[in-house]
Amino acid sequence: MLEHFKYMPVLRYRTQERKALTETAFKDTICPLIEIVTAKPRANSKTEIIETIVSELGQFNTNFFLDIPLYLNLHTSTKKPVQEFIGEAKAKDPDFKLEFLTDSRLVSLKQIVPVISYDPNEVIFHKNSITSQEKVLRKFYDTVAFRVFPEKVDEALKEISSILKNGDVIIYEIDVSTAPNGSAAKLNYPKIFNVNSDIRYKTVLIRPFVPNDLTNTKLVNGSIISQIDNSLRDDYSSLGFDAFGDYTSIKKDELTDGGSISPGYIMYTTKQNVCYGFKGDKNKLVSFETKIAPSVITSLAWSHYSEVHHSNCMGCKKISEIVSAKRSGKSQGEWKGYSVAHYLQSMVDFL
């Protein structure tokens, strides 16, 4: 199924992203990269995250890439379940990750493609770590993906070159501050394309497009967010890659606690390939219902989509229900999920 895929959305496997994921009918042009960041689906849950993965992803026919993101920096403000899970993964790398990915319940899901990655923030590259992980995973999976970053890219690709197999995938991820068409980014592209000329493998370029310093208070209601650059959607092929990826319409953040109540919503439009911002009143959750929802459904961005999209898109359906007072719209977290769901459905329609 990987021969047709063009888009790889990166989704942290958390409540709102999971809702958006499970409510989207993917085509074989889209293969999500799921990042596991906690041991359980909810802090008070008795269910292991693997059981939830099997239950939710097992219903799909599309492929899913699975990774434990070692790149996450942990702070005292990091959400406790994330700190515990990722902290243990870092401390026991690569054994922790290998034990997770080779769990028989996951292996039984034929849709799963395991991702071998490393922590780009570490000063020292752990030689032979990629090779040792691949050796173990090949016993359970025919196809493997390798996720590399500008940091330590040469060391990583050197190891990958001798273990790469036909059908494997190399994922190259750049930062939101790096322009995909810029000279700095392009320096490493030939390295990705020429890892092993005897092997036929897929290449994916990932770049988050929502800046980390963009806050809801900076949004201008109903206006295009000029700080967002999603040009990769249209340029990935001319840059030489087989597919592109992003973190949908949300930030690649470090999953920390805190932050004030600041109602806002980001809505993507396929037609213009831009995002529109909508803003409520700070510290007033009710403004999601009184200001944001009415503004969204009367906006230019909303008008770019057909009624078919609005009925298929979980995010659009929920917003319509809020406007018609059929559901509450006061959950800041749920609005993030609506944004993700709308972006995913937009890509399903577009691709």
pLDDT value of residue 259:
75
53-94 confidence digits (pLDDT tens): 999 999 999 999 999 999 999 999 999 999 999 999 999 999
Q: Which two tokens stand for residue 258?
A: 């805190």
Q: Which residues of the chain are modeled with pLDDT < 70?
A: 1
243 φ/ψ angles, rounded to the nearest 5 degrees: -155, 165
Q: Cα(11)–Cα(17) distance, rounded to whole angstroms?
A: 6
Taking the whole predicted model, whether its pTM rises above 0.85 is answered as: yes
DSSP code string of 138-192? TTT-S--EEEE-STTHHHHHHHHHTT--TT-EEEEE--TTS-TTSHHHHTTHHHH
In the chain, DSSP finds a helix count (H) and a strand count (E) of: 16, 11
Q: Cα(56)–Cα(162) distance, rounded to whole angstroms?
A: 35
pLDDT value of residue 258:
73
Could you tell me which residues are beta bridge partners of residue 205? Answer: 172, 244
For residue 104, the surrounding DSSP H or E stretch is: helix 104-107
Quickly list H helices, 209-313: 232-235, 287, 293-297, 300-303, 307-312
Q: Cα(223)–Cα(34) distance, rounded to whole angstroms?
A: 31
Gyration radius of the chain over CA positions: 20
pLDDT value of residue 94:
96
pLDDT value of residue 43:
85
Other beta carbons within 10 angstroms of residue 3's beta carbon come to 8
CB 272, CB 296: distance < 8 Å: no
158-196 confidence digits (pLDDT tens): 999 999 999 999 999 999 999 999 988 899 999 999 999
pLDDT value of residue 184:
84
Domain 2-350 has CATH 3.20.20: yes
pLDDT value of residue 168:
98
278 φ/ψ angles, rounded to the nearest 5 degrees: -135, 135
Domain regions of the chain by residue span: 2-350
Q: Which two tokens stand for residue 323?
A: 């406007």
Q: Cα(113)–Cα(57) distance, rounded to whole angstroms?
A: 12
Closest to 249 measured CA to CA, from 223, 225, 217: 225
pLDDT value of residue 44:
87
CB 79, CB 257: distance < 8 Å: yes
- The contacts of residue 153 (CB under 8 Å, 6+ apart) are 172, 188, 191
C-alpha 127, offset from chain centre: 27
pLDDT value of residue 257:
87
Instruction: Give the 3-state secondary structure of residue 128.
Output: coil
Other beta carbons within 10 angstroms of residue 258's beta carbon come to 6
Determine the length of the chain: 351
Q: Cα(306)–Cα(145) distance, rounded to whole angstroms?
A: 36
